[in-house]
Amino acid sequence: QKEVEQNSGPLSVPEGAIASLNCTYSDRGSQSFFWYRQYSGKSPELIMSIYSNGDKEDGRFTAQLNKASQYVSLLIRDSHPSDSATYLCAVNDYKLSFGAGTTVTVRA
Amino acid sequence: NAGVTQTPKFQVLKTGQSMTLQCAQDMNHNSMYWYRQDPGMGLRLIYYSASEGTTDKGEVPNGYNVSRLNKREFSLRLESAAPSQTSVYFCASSEPGGHMNTEAFFGQGTRLTVV
């Protein structure tokens, strides 16, 4: 089992809709969780970090963490075409592991 | 503040040639990482270093070696390049996980082609 798994996508949403991304992880003791955005040909950039159960909101982005179920999700509200990118879920234990990524396309 | 700096940005090698990818960070992070990214795939961990003086294998270490030269620098060496090593390579740094403020920061990437 991979340490971090994401719903593979791709995900296509209309402009203004909510994009929902999910991620599960295998190590029940994991404490640090992140969502990165990566535009084609660019480096990953951090958009959200979450360490405690519950929701964390930052602008149009909301990260949700459920340690009992070992999943972390990302909601993008009011999607813009500029949100079209690959979104990577990451878990930092003693090493930093990534999921395969979900490619999101926002249709104008 | 430069963050994480990788060199070179592009490289073409012939099969069997060797090269070293350089990475330096100025954020005083203890952990450093090397990943490769192939089309349509996520980031696969090659090697990581949790602290100065230590290195560990990741998911895809075969064909690579690393050196944690000091706290700032972490290099990746290909001793005998193969076409299967054609990829984009990213270096990253962070504090060790399990705490707050352990997000990783990435270099610009090195696009390597082996012919």
Query: pLDDT by residue (tens digit) across B41-73?
Result: 789 999 999 999 899 999 999 999 999 989 999
How far is B76 from B69, CA to CA, in rounded Å? 11
How far is B101 from B82, CA to CA, in rounded Å? 37
- pLDDT score, position B39: 84
Long-range contacts: B58-67, Cβ < 8 Å, 24+? Answer: B58/A95, B58/B33, B58/B34, B60/B36, B64/B34, B66/B34
How far is A41 from B88, CA to CA, in rounded Å? 9
Q: Which residue of A has its CA nearest to B44?
A: A98
- Rounded to 10 degrees, the C-alpha dihedral A31/A40/B5/A90 comes to 10
**Whether the predicted pLDDT of B95 surpasses 70:** yes
Which DSSP symbol is given to A82?
Answer: G
- What count of CB pairs under 8 Å joins A to B? 72
- pLDDT score, position B64: 98
- pLDDT score, position A102: 94
Q: Which residues of A touch B58 (CB under 8 A)?
A: 95
A19: helix, coil or strand? Answer: strand
How far is A25 from A6, CA to CA, in rounded Å? 9
- pLDDT score, position A1: 64
DSSP for B22-82 reads EEEESS--SEEEEEEE-TT--EEEEEEESSTT--EE-S--TTEEEEE-SSSBEEEEESS--
Are A95 and B50 within 8 A, CB to CB?
yes
Read off φ and ψ for residue A42, nearest 5 degrees: -115, 170
**Whether the predicted pLDDT of B1 surpasses 90:** no
The residue that leads in pLDDT, B99 or A48, is A48
Contacts for A59 with CB less than 8 Å, ≥ 6 apart: none
For tokens 């929902």, what's the residue? Answer: A20
Are A100 and B42 within 8 A, CB to CB?
yes
Q: Which residue of B has its CA nearest to A52?
A: B100
Q: Which residues of B touch A91 (CB under 8 A)?
A: 97
**Which residues of chain A carry a pLDDT beneath 70?**
1
Contacts for A69 with CB less than 8 Å, ≥ 6 apart: none
* Sheet containing strand A71-76, strands side by side: A4-6, A19-25, A71-76, A61-66, A54-58
